[in-house]
Amino acid sequence: MKRTIITACAAVTALLTGFGPADAAENRPLRVGWVFAMANAPALVADRKGFYAEEGLTVDAKPFGDGPVIQQALAAGELDAAYIGAPPVYQWAARGLDSRILAKVNYGQAAVIAAAPGIRTLADLRGRRLAGVARGSGMDVLLRGFVLKDAAGLDPDRDLSVTAMPVGTMNAALDGGTADAAFAWEPFISQQVLRGGAHVVFDVNQALPGYPWYVVMAPVKTLAERPDDVVRLLRAHAKAIAWLSDHPAEADALIADAFKLEPVKRADGTGIPATAVAAEARKRLGWSDRLEDSDLAFIQRLMDYSLALGFIPGPMKAADIVDTSYLRRAGR
């Protein structure tokens, strides 16, 4: 009965105001969640530099600690779009959250770093202790499926010890000797490399140039109710990426401030400013909005890894969750 009353009230409101559910959606801010990571800088830049407003779009942009929390907010109808890793999109699609990947955000960012001098190649990880992330997460899929199995020829469950920990504690684990190597991402890699605490063993972006990681995605409900706003969002996204490319010094300063990067101190006591950390990170990390055929092939590869590792219940096709039509409408 309660649901009937609510539905009836909504119908009366629509009759009196002339607005239905889709119209109401168009008249509220677009709620965009983004994982608080340097790779998602375009979401921050678009907000701070006024690119959303330039496109006539009001956005309520909220940073989140990780992808699973964003997916929960999406499932609860609390967000309209998100900047999130590609694996969570298809993992949650397998559970019933029907969404589409609309554009790329970044490429690169991940690498294996080691503190132990005897680790120069991935093969040297055999019998060693590697700091990784939560089992089944997107980065874990990349680590186990591509880095360890394909690139190193190692069994991640037998040939070495992979210990899950927050990426922010990996450098301390390397310093303390509780891990011999770590699979991390920027800016944590650059912080450790610049201070001399580790060296890069394997840069994923060198092995897979331009591989996509974070993407702009939206539930099909958003696409149905607010297609024009989605196009505006993608135009602002493209402007933010262009700004990051065209203003590197200003971008490094913005990134250092927004993500609270700290200056690095070397063993000899000399210091490296936070902006230099951001600049170093950009050697392994970049931004692009366009989804190329190679990007879809990489997402498909991740899906296949996830299936082989038992993280999704059945085969999936990247073409089923990627929709580039909105990007084309945005002129990209």
Q: Tally DSSP H helices, then E strands, for the chain.
A: 16, 14
* pLDDT classification of 9: cutoffs 50, 70, 90: very low
pLDDT of 235 reads: 98
pLDDT at 189: 95
Question: Exposed, middle or buried by CB within 10 Å (0-12, 13-18, 19+), for 157?
Answer: exposed
- Kindly tell me if the per-residue pLDDT of 112 is higher than 70: yes
In the predicted model, what is the mean pLDDT of residues 85-95? 93
pLDDT at site 15: 35
Distances from the Cα of 129 to the Cα of 113, 133, 181, 202, angstroms: 12, 13, 7, 16
Q: Are 263 and 256 in contact (CB under 8 A)?
A: no
Position 280, amino acid: E
Phi, psi of 226 (to 5 degrees): -135, 50
Helix (H) or strand (E) holding 305: helix 293-308
Q: Is the dihedral of CA 169, 174, 176, 177 positive or negative?
A: positive
Question: What tokens appear for 306 in the block?
Answer: 């996830």
Beta bridge partners of 84: 215
The band of 65, judged by pLDDT with boundaries at 50, 70 and 90, is: confident
Q: Are 162 and 143 spatial neighbours (Cβ–Cβ below 8 Å)?
A: yes
For helices 227-246 and 41-48, the axis angle rounded to 10 degrees is: 100
List all residues 6 or more positions away from 325 whose beta carbon is below 8 Å from its beta carbon.
none
Catalogue all structural domains in the chain, each as residue range(s) with its CATH number: 2-107+211-261+287-329 (3.40.190.10), 110-207 (3.40.190.10)
Find the mean pLDDT for residues 123-138. Answer: 95
Instruction: Please spell the DSSP secondary structure of 239-294, one letter per residue.
Output: HHHHHHHH-HHHHHHHHHHHTTPPPEE-TTS-EE-HHHHHHHHTTTEEE-----HH
- The proportion of the chain whose per-residue pLDDT surpasses 90, expressed as a percent, equals 85
Please give the model's pTM, rounded to 2 decimal places: 0.88
pLDDT tens digits for range 187-234? 999 999 999 989 999 999 999 999 999 999 999 999 999 999 999 999
- CA-to-CA separations, 123 to 133, 156, 211, in angstroms, rounded: 20, 12, 23
Q: Which residues contact 309 (CB under 8 A, 6 or more apart)?
A: 136, 141, 144, 145
User: Cα–Cα distance between 172 and 175 in angstroms, integer?
Assistant: 5
Residues 6+ apart with CB under 8 A from 146: 204, 207, 208, 301, 305
Rounded Cα–Cα distance for residues 70 and 82 (Å): 7
For residue 57, the SS3 value is coil
- Per-residue model confidence (pLDDT) at position 26: 60
